[in-house]
Amino acid sequence: MMWRILNLLFSVLLFAACSKSEKNNFLTDKDNGGISLPEKFGAVVVVDTLGRGRHMAIGDNGDIYLHLSKLNGEGKGIVALRDTSGDGRADIVKGFSDISGTGIELHNGYLYYSDNVRIYRSKMTPGKLLPSDARDTLVTMVEGGGHVAKPFTFDNKGGMYVNIGSLSNCCEINLRSPDSKGADPCIELETRGGIWKFDDNTLNQVQDLEHRYATGIRNAMGITWNSDVDKLFATQHGRDDLHRYWPAFYTEDQNTELPSEIFFDLEKGDDMGWPYCYYDHLQGKKLTNPEYGGNGTTDDRCANAKMPLMGFPGHWAPNDVLIYQGDLFPERYKHGAFIAFHGSWNRLGHEQGGFKVVFVPMKDGKPSGDYEVFADGFIGPEPITNSGDAFFRPCGLAEGPDGSLYISDSQHGRIWRIMYFKDAIPNNADVPLFQPTVKAKVEEEPVPEELVAGKKVYDNYCAACHRSNGMGAPGMNPPLTGIDLVTGDKRELIKIVLQGYSQPTKINGELYSNVMPSHAFLNDQQISDVLTYVRKSWGNSADAVEAENVATVRGTLNP
C-alpha cells in the first residue's frame, strides 16, 4: 500500500513540475513541424528520424513509448522518450526490446507490446524510463501472412482486446485473382478477421474460438475502449481491387472511393459482415462482395451485418483511433474521436488519399456531426500517386497527461505534440524552422522501347501492390529493387509469378507478409515481358527473361 502511495506522489510531483516548466518554456514550431492545424492550435516536433513509428503509449509523467515496425540501427523495436527541460522536445531517447511491431500500451504497471504473433509485457519501475528487460508472454495467436499487426486495448476491467486481421483480401479461394469466388463459409473467420478478448493478467494464453469477441472485421488497425459508454470502438481497412478484378461491375473511379473505410462500435457477438459484405458510404448501406455474387447494388448477404457509425473514402487506411478525454482542447472536442489516416497504396495509380488526422464529434458514443479534418499537410506540397512519396504518414495517436494530442509518423519517425492556446499562440519567431527529413523526388526516366510491353503488364497487375517505382509497401509488399529474389535465379522468380508467394519474408530487416497470388493466367510472353521489365528497372540490371524460359518452368509445374 505504501509503495502505491509513494508511486502516486512521485507521478503527481513530476507531472506538476513538467506542467510548470512547459507553461514557461513551451514554444510551438513556426510551421507546426510541417503540418496544418485549426486556429489557436500549435505543434512542436518532439523528436525526429526515429524510424518507422507505429503506435504510441504515454505515461502519467509524459514519457513516450513508440513502437517501430522495423528494428532501428541499434536493434531496438521500441523507443522511449523523455523531456526534462519542459520545452516539449525529447532530450532523452533510449531504445528498448528486440520486438518490433505496432501495438503498445501502458497498463497495470507494465508496458505491453506485440509482435505479429504474441503480446508481451515488461515491468515498469516508478521514476525509470525503461522497463525491465524481462518479459512475460500474455497470449500466442495464429501465424501466417496478410494483415499480421496486432494492435490491442484494455477495458480496465481485466479484458484485453486484440485485432487479428485477415489473411486475404476477401477470403478468396484463389487469393487476389481475377473473378475468384469467395470461400463459403469463410473458414478463415475461425482464426482471423475479428477481435479476440483475453485476460490482461494471465500468462501463456492461447487463441481459440471461445475468446472471439466480434467477427467480420477485415483488419482493425485502430482499436480503443471508450470509457464514456463502456464499449469497444474500432476502425477498419476496407478491401481492395473492386475494379481490377471485377471491371464488369466497378469503374476505376469507383475503385478509388470504394469500399469505405469504417468507424464502428462493438459489443460481444457483433458481426461486421466481412468477407461477404462491404460498406458503401455513398449509398449508405452494406453491399454484397462480388466474390459472393454481388454486383455493386446487391445486398442479399448483408441483412444481419452490423452497420458502422461512419464511413470514409476508400483506401485512406485508418491506422489509429483515440477518444479524447482531456480538458486542454475546447469543450467540443471532449469525448470525440480522432482518427489517423495513414494513406494507402490501392488506388490504381490515381492520386492517393488519406494522410491526415480527422475529428469526429461524439455524444453518448455516437457521431453528433460530420467528420472534419484536424491535422493535414503530412503528404507534402504536391499530390502523389505513390504513398512512399509522402513527406509523412500519420500512424499513431496518444493523449498526454495534460491533454496534448500526439501524432506519430511511419515514414521517418517524427512525433508531433499538439496543444491548444486559448488566447494566442506564444511568439515563436526565434524557434528554428523544422525541415522535413525526406529525400528529393527522382524524376522518372523514359522507358526503353524494349521494356514498354513489360511496363504495361506491370502497371495493370503489379503496380497496385509494389508501386510504380518498385518500392513496395512497408510491412506488406516487398520492394523489387536490389533484391536477390528478383535479380537472381530467373527460374525461381518465374515460379513465384506462376505459383504465388505466401511466406512472410524479411528483407533488409523488415518483415513483409502480404500474400501474392498466382498470376498463371498471364501467358508466357506477358510474364517474360513483365519480369524483364522488373529485372532491368529502378537500378536493377539483370538479364532478360524469355518466353521460352517461362514455358519450360510452367511445364515442370504442370506435367
Q: Which residue has the cell 462500435?
A: 265
Which of 369, 404, 420 is where one domain is finished?
A: 420
CATH number of the domain to which 328 belongs = 2.120.10.30
Please indicate, yes or no, if residue 444 is contained in any of the structural domains. Answer: no
Task: Note whether 233 and 321 are within 8 A (CB).
Answer: yes
Asked whether residue 426 is domain-assigned, the answer is no
Residue 315 near residue 344, CB atoms below 8 Å: yes
Same domain, 336 and 236: yes
Q: Are residues 300 and 208 in the same domain?
A: yes
Residue 45's pLDDT is 94
98: left (phi over 0), alpha (psi -120 to 50) or beta: alpha
Within-domain flag for 42: yes
Q: 495 is in which domain, residue-wise? A: 450-557
In a domain, 335, yes or no: yes
In terms of domains, do 326 and 177 share one? yes
CATH number at residue 485: 1.10.760.10
Do 88 and 44 contact (CB within 8 A), yes or no? Answer: yes
Residue 427 located in a structural domain? no
Domain end (from 401, 420, 439)? 420
Q: Which three cell numbers stand for residue 151?
A: 494492435
In order of 112, 229, 320, 368, 482, the CA distances from 161 in angstroms are 12, 16, 14, 26, 40
Residues 413, 456: one domain?
A: no
Is residue 434 in some structural domain?
Answer: no
Whether the upstream peptide bond of residue 259 has omega within 30° of 0, thus cis, is yes
Rounded distance between C-alpha atoms, residue 138 and residue 294, angstroms: 41
| 20 or 112, greater pLDDT | 112
Cα distance between residue 359 and residue 351, in whole Å: 23
Residue 498 sits in the same domain as residue 405: no
User: Could you give the angle at the alpha carbon of 199 between the alpha carbons of 193 and 203, nearest 5°?
Assistant: 105
Distances from the Cα of 474 to the Cα of 72, 118, 305, 445, 471, angstroms: 15, 20, 31, 24, 9
Task: Say if residue 387 is in the same domain as residue 531.
Answer: no
Q: How far is the C-alpha of 120 from the C-alpha of 116, rounded, in Å? A: 11
Q: Are strands 310-312 and 318-323 parallel, antiparallel or unpaired?
A: unpaired
- State whether 188 and 258 are in the same domain: yes
Does a structural domain hold residue 156?
yes
E-strand stretches of 126-176 = 136-140, 152-154, 159-164
Same domain, 500 and 363: no
Give yes or no: residues 475 and 416 share one domain.
no
317-376 pLDDT per residue, tens: 999 999 999 999 999 999 999 999 999 877 777 888 999 999 999 999 999 999 999 999
Distance CA 489, CA 269 (A): 49
Number of domains in the chain: 2
The answer to whether residue 428 is domain-embedded is no
Q: Is the pLDDT of residue 439 over 60?
A: no
Rounded to two decimals, the pTM is: 0.83
Q: pLDDT tens digits, residue range 461-502?
A: 787 778 777 877 776 778 888 788 888 888 888 888 888 887
Give tens-digit pLDDT for 153-200.
Answer: 999 999 999 999 999 889 998 877 777 899 999 999 999 999 999 999
